[in-house]
Chains A and B, each alone.
Chain A
C-alpha cells in the first residue's frame, strides 16, 4: 500500500542512452512533481503536473520530458543521457496545485541514476 512508488530504484547506464523513470501514486492526488537531488544533496524541483497538465517547468534541458498518462502517473523520460544527469530523482504528489496550509507533499523513495 505504498503511497508514492518509483521504478527503478537504481539505474546505471551509459552516456548517450535514453531512459525512463516511472512514478505512481495511489493517494488520489491531483498534482505530481519531479525533483532532482544532486551530489551535494540539494533538492531542486524540475516539473509539476496538475491533472495531467504541465504547470511548472523549471530550467531543465529539453532532453528531460515528463509524461503523465493519467493523474496517478508521472513518468520522466531522459534522452541522450549525460554525466551531469547522475543524481537521485524524487517523485512527489500533493492533493492540490494551490497548496492549502493543511496540505503536504508525499515523496517517493527516489531513483538513483548513474551515468557512466
Chain B
C-alpha cells in the first residue's frame, strides 16, 4: 500500500463543473503539496499547506491533519485545467527534504 493515495485515478468532467480530487496519507507529515503536471510534462507547484485551507483563483486546497486527508477543488472547470494533479507529502523528521508522491489524478475537462 502506498503511503500517499489519490482518488480518483482518472476524472472526466464537463466544462463548468466543480471538481474534487482527494489525497490520503498514512505517515506523519510537516506539509503537503499539490502539483500540476501538464500534458507536455512540466510540473508546477500549486499549493503547499500544513493546515486549514488555501485559495488561488479557481483552485482551493484543504487539509485535515487529524484525518490525514487533503482535497483539491477546482471551481468552474475549464479545458485548460486538463492535467495530472499530484499530491505529495513532506515527511516529518526522517529523510530531510524528501517528498513522497501519489500516483496522480488525470483530469480531462471537456468543452
Mark A residues whose CB is within 8 Å of B. Answer: 31, 33, 40-45, 48, 50, 55-56, 88, 90, 94, 96-99, 101-107, 109-110, 112
Contacts and interface: CB of A to CB of B under 8 A. Distances in A.
Interface of B: 30-31, 33, 35, 37, 41-45, 48, 50, 84, 86, 88, 90, 95-99, 101, 103-104
B103 A40 contact: yes
Contact of A110 (B43, B45, B101, B103): B43
Main SS at interface, chain B = strand
Contacts of B99: 45, 105
A109 B97 contact: no
Contacts of A48: 97-98
B45 A104 contact: yes
Given A101-B31, A112-B41, A56 B48 contact: no
Question: What 4 A-B pairs come out closest when comparing CB atoms?
Answer: A43-B101, A107-B43, A110-B41, A101-B50
Contacts, number: 62
Contacts of A44: 101
Contact of A105 (B37, B45, B103): B45
Nearest to B104: A41
A97 B97 contact: yes
Nearest to A31: B97
Contacts of A102: 48
B96 A55 contact: yes
Contact of A99 (B31, B43, B101, B104): B31
Contacts of A88: 41
